[in-house]
């Protein structure tokens, strides 16, 4: 409960946490300690404020057509949608399983910088690229994109968010969740 004024309390809405069939499989493949950490993080971070983004824990995914979120839990990432009063867990991915994923094209507004200017002050442009992508031009035509990352975790997230296979997996999970229904986190066993 949150107290706004003396005598008045505002109750936080509890979201239902539901796992898609694929996410249940992902969860069961985790080691016991990772399962406990993920379950605890789902309750702590997604039960009441699943849309509350932060720099190190919850982030809105870039490059996705539908509003989607990622939750960092140590070396594991949980990808989910928020639909009404439900948090729909679509995938649970350990970092170790995503080492070979590569990027696809993202659509977002980008600053354009001539290659000659970039060469003169690369460090400054890398810092700027941490905030937004920069299109590198050669003779006035796009030649590449400079994307900066504030941390290794950001690099990992970028690779997943832009991998066609992973995005297809998320879409399958979303369809299966809506077609077959999901399982509440309280009803998921911790054992493989």
Please give the domain boundaries of the chain with CATH numbers for all domains.
12-101+163-186 (3.30.2310.20), 105-161 (3.40.1620.10)
Over residues 16-35, mean pLDDT: 94
Give the β-pairing of 134-138 and 111-114.
parallel
| pLDDT of 186 strictly over 70 | yes
pLDDT exceeds cutoff 60 at 154: yes
What would the pLDDT profile of 106-140 be if each residue is shown by its tens digit? 444 567 888 888 888 888 888 888 888 888 888 88
Mean pLDDT (whole number) for 44-53? 91
Alpha-carbon span 172 to 99, nearest angstrom: 21
Residue of 87 and 99 predicted with greater confidence: 87
**Sheet-wide strand order for 134-138:** 111-114, 134-138, 141-146
C-beta of residue 192 within 8 angstroms of C-beta of residue 29: yes
d(CA 32, CA 191): 7
Instruction: Provide the β-strand partners of residue 19.
Output: 89, 183
Distance between CA 126 and CA 15 in Å, rounded?
A: 39
- Quick check: 19 pLDDT over 60? yes
Quickly state the pLDDT bin for 95 (edges 50, 70, 90): confident
Mean pLDDT confidence for 83-97: 89
d(C-alpha 163, C-alpha 98), whole Å: 10
| H or E element at residue 174 | helix 164-180
Residue-wise pLDDT tens digits, 168-181: 889 999 999 989 88
């Amino acid at each position: 409960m949150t107290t706004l004024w003396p005598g008045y309390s505002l109750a936080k809405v509890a979201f239902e946490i539901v796992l898609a069939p694929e996410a249940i499989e992902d969860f069961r493949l985790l080691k016991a300690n990772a399962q406990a950490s993920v379950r605890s993080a789902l309750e702590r971070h997604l039960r009441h404020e699943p849309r509350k983004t932060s720099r190190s824990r919850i982030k809105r995914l870039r490059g996705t057509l539908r509003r989607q979120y990622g939750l960092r839990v140590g070396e594991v990432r949980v990808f989910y949608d928020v639909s009404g009063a439900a948090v729909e867990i679509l995938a649970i991915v350990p970092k170790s399983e995503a080492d070979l994923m590569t990027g696809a094209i993202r659509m977002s507004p980008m600053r354009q910088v001539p290659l000659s200017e970039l060469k003169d002050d690369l460090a400054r442009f890398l810092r700027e690229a941490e905030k937004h992508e920069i299109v590198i031009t050669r003779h006035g035509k796009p030649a590449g994109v400079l994307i900066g990352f504030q941390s290794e975790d950001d690099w990992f997230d970028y690779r997943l968010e832009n991998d066609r296979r992973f995005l297809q997996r998320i879409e399958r999970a979303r369809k299966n969740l809506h077609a077959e229904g999901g399982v509440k986190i309280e009803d998921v066993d911790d054992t493989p």
